[in-house]
Chains A and B, each alone.
Chain A
Amino acid sequence: MKLAICSGPPTSGKTTVLKHVIKKLTNKGENTAFVKTDVQFACEDDFFAQELNIPTKKIYSGELCPDHCNVMILGDALEWAEKERATVLVVETAGLCLRCSPYVEGAFGMVVLEATSGMNLPKKIGPMLSLADIAVVTKIDLISQAEREVFRARILEVCPGMRIIESDALHGIGVEPIVKMIYNSSDMKEPIYLRGNPPIGTCTICVGKKEIGWKQHFGIVRPLDNQVFYRGE
């Protein structure tokens, strides 16, 4: 089974791009299964089940970082997709945690960014962008050629050598290279590892202590005037 993981900020066009990609994968003879992970609401599963007539599932991460949630469920999801006789599993994540990235070794990873999101976005989203195999820039139909070029250059500043695709996703234009990369990727083999390192985590806020100020907490804490060092217990 091939695995493709797609992340990107909300409304960046992930679902729109994937719709066209999955259609084209189907035309090439692949059977696609689709999983959506989100924090508290998603309807992509119904949309894809109806529109494309493929097996779909969704999972809400709730309290958990959606990317961490992804790690937890991916094993089960691959098993489920296998049972559904899928040859490709496509996962759309929520892409909200800007410290983590959902991509795994051996799988295709793509980030979807909207060209309308401001010239600084590529600098803000960390490993979601830097660890991807490909960056897809959508909504190019809405901005000037000049801004498209600056946006592209900003991505390359953050990730030199990143493969970038520009797409008018509404009309499914420019998505062929994505289809090709998924089609040509190899089947997943256990054990599967997360690409890159998860961020350092847990502090007392994570477990529900609400009082403001770092002196009230222990674990990994950081005062306002010090952006370099963490204090750890």
Chain B
Amino acid sequence: MEKIVRLERIGILGGYDKNGQPEPVREVEFNMGQVASIVGATGSGKTTLIKDVELLANKNTPSNRTITFNGIVPSEEYCPVPSDRLIALITQHTNFLSDMRVKDFLVTHASIRGSRGENSVVDETLMFANQLTGESIDTANVMTELSGGQTRALMIADAVVIGESPIILLDEIENAGIHRIKVLELLKQYKKIFIFVTHDPRITLLSDFRIVMKNGAMQKVIATNGEEKKVVEQVKKIDDLLLRLRAYIRNGEIITEFHLKE
């Protein structure tokens, strides 16, 4: 099977909405290094869209969408297999089921991937993961003993560092017990395609563009430009304030006017 020499961009060719009508957006492209968001009400088809990307849909999923590589519609001969280290999808539901110890699992995964210097890669992965979670990961722990936040943090770190997946899909990780802003900051240092399914205004506005979903279809693509970039700083402040409030409440404090000041 022919492999993709170098992935520069992927695309989604539109399929059908829930009523079988062609979806308004016929094509979206994601370039290496871009961050994109998928937004829309619950049930609007966000997860289905991201699953189509993960499964490298080729008119063989319910939506009838097609995923392209460097602008090419894969033929049967020219089609990357899902395990070809291309895409990692992390959702608030994906769990580790393996009862291996964290360290052993990472070493195993690194050796399968043929990573250079297994141990240093494993250390880098753990360092990355520990920046995303409040509770640092004990490598002697069995994978299934990790908390939700630790699990998601390790999955993201593994996909980025060991997996070296060029495309990373994150489905509503704001509810997954990890520092979502830290995720965005760290990820931006790697030249990959990141696609967030999100309800979070801050993640959305820090993305290069967003796809708006409704009724199972891509309705429009909005690039984050001038006007919106101006308000990002304000949104950050509001968001930081809410994060601080959350911390106060967690600490058992009584909230007053004072806490709302910067």
Q: How far is the CA of A142 from the CA of B94 in the complex (A)?
A: 6
Chain A residues positioned under 8 Å from B89 (CB to CB): 145
Contact of B109 among A140, A143, A146, A176 (CB under 8 A): A146
Which segment of A8-16, A29-37, A165-173 sits at the interface? A165-173
Q: Count B interface residues, CB 8 Å.
A: 30
Q: Please determine whether B97 and A152 come into contact, CB atoms closer than 8 angstroms.
A: no
| A143 and B97 contact, Cβ closer than 8 Å, known pairs A168-B55, A171-B62, A173-B60 | yes
Q: How far is the CA of A110 from the CA of B98 in the complex (A)?
A: 25
Q: Please determine whether A173 and B94 come into contact, CB atoms closer than 8 angstroms.
A: no
Measured CB to CB, the closest approach of chain A to B156, in angstroms, equals 10
Residue B96 at the A interface, CB < 8 A?
yes
Contact of B98 among A140, A150, A171 (CB under 8 A): A150
Q: Please determine whether B82 and A147 come into contact, CB atoms closer than 8 angstroms.
A: no
Q: Which of A150, A168, A176 has most chain B Cβ within 10 Å?
A: A150
Q: Please determine whether A116 and B97 come into contact, CB atoms closer than 8 angstroms.
A: yes
B-facing mask of A142-175, CB < 8 A → 1, else 0? Answer: 1111111110110000000000101010010110
Q: Please determine whether A118 and B99 come into contact, CB atoms closer than 8 angstroms.
A: yes
Chain A residues positioned under 8 Å from B96 (CB to CB): 143-144, 147
- List 10 tightest A-B contacts by C-beta distance, closest first: A145-B88, A153-B112, A146-B158, A146-B109, A144-B155, A173-B55, A119-B98, A166-B82, A152-B83, A143-B97
Chain A residues positioned under 8 Å from B55 (CB to CB): 168, 173-174
A-facing mask of B82-109, CB < 8 A → 1, else 0? Answer: 1101011110001111111000010011
Task: Give me the interface of B with A, judged by CB distance under 8 Å.
Answer: 55, 60-62, 81-83, 85, 87-90, 94-100, 105, 108-109, 112-113, 155, 158-159, 162-163, 165
Q: How far is the CA of A119 from the CA of B98 in the complex (A)?
A: 7
Chain A residues positioned under 8 Å from B108 (CB to CB): 150
Q: What are 6 pairs between A and B in contact, CB < 8 Å? A: A144-B90, A145-B89, A145-B159, A146-B158, A148-B83, A168-B55
Q: Please determine whether B85 and A176 come into contact, CB atoms closer than 8 angstroms.
A: no
| A146 and B95 contact, Cβ closer than 8 Å, known pairs A173-B55, A173-B60 | no
Q: Please determine whether A143 and B94 come into contact, CB atoms closer than 8 angstroms.
A: yes
Chain A residues positioned under 8 Å from B81 (CB to CB): 166
